[in-house]
Amino acid sequence: MTCFTEKNTMAWMRVLLVSLLLVVHSYADSGYIITAPKVMIAGTTEKICVTLIEVDGPVDLDVMFVHDLFLISSSKHTMTTSDECFGVTFKYWKPVIRAQPPSKRIHVLKFRILSIEGTEFKPYKHMLSTVWIENPSGVRLIQWRNVSTNEGLVELEMPLSEEPILGTWKIKCDMEETIIIQHFDVDEYVLPKFEVDIRPPPFVVINDETIDIKICGRYTYGQPVHGSVHAKVCISPSYSYYRLDRPCAETEKKDTGPDGCADFSIRADSVELKSSYYSIWGKKLNVTASFTEENTDITLNATHDTISIHQSIRADNQSSKKF
């Protein structure tokens, strides 16, 4: 249990305690003591006790659970005595909005929203009230209402004009009356001197021993780039049954050779591909490459994250099928 005391001369008193925010509508020169569990389990009813000091008459309480600046749950209570306990039940969910940073000029913005709830990170299967996009001027350009999720995942897209407003844009999601915001920047497109091409395997199966990846650099006129490559390979999202972060593998090659390419063979156990500690549900192979040109030390980055992780494959005489 955790105990907190406060004296305040303002009519509105606010206390932030671990993940509990209590607002007491009371009087000047008043105070209170809050007693609450140090650890609160999602989906259970927790006991909160409040003792009022120098406060007369009924007092209205707003109890709010806050985590990472997100309002998770809230409830209202009225105290008729100076010392009362009450039960509070709350859910835990957390949405993740991801917009892929482009390495070349794009005309369509594509993004995903992944929503999970509970300490076991189960997919949030309810509809999202509203999803919308605002430009830097705060103008809502497009919106979606009552958005259904596929096992907690939503994929949306918005076409961009030929000359969009430059600056920081916002993707906003209304989820059970809580607004989640993800920022992304729209900048002028500058033609790169060369491009980085990541070539992962067509798919990954959890019983694979290695993950083979080729990373190449090409000038805009087609010739190979000589330089060095640093690669980071992850399986994302990295959520686990035990709240462990799945490790990533990093490797480097100093010389791409005459063809401008570097071949990497990543050991599957270095990213815990077969580990039962991690779910493979909705997982993707994420490869990030940093290619540094030999003569100028100019570095370009690229990311590839469309390759799915599969539990097994089935082959017949006609074709191979993944499932």
Average pLDDT over residues 73-98: 72
pTM of the entire predicted model: 0.42
Residue that has been written with the tokens 């305690």 in this structure: 17
Indicate the pairing of strand 83-89 with strand 45-53.
antiparallel
Confidence of residue 215 (pLDDT cuts 50, 70, 90): very high
Fold (CATH) for 2-89: Immunoglobulin-like (2.60.40)
pLDDT of residue 227: 93
As a whole number of angstroms, the distance between CA 142 and CA 128 comes to: 15
What whole-number percentage of the chain has pLDDT above 90? 25
**Is the link from the previous residue into 237 a cis peptide, with omega within 30 of 0?**
yes
H helices of 187-279, where?
none
Fold (CATH) for 194-315: Immunoglobulin-like (2.60.40)
As a whole number of angstroms, the distance between CA 95 and CA 125 comes to: 12
Selected residue with higher pLDDT from 282 and 90: 282
The answer to whether 98 and 73 are in contact (CB under 8 A) is no
pLDDT of residue 59: 80
Q: Hey, what are 236's tokens?
A: 């994302």
CATH, domain 93-186, list 2.40.170.20, 3.40.50.10540, 3.40.50.300, 2.60.40.1930: 2.60.40.1930
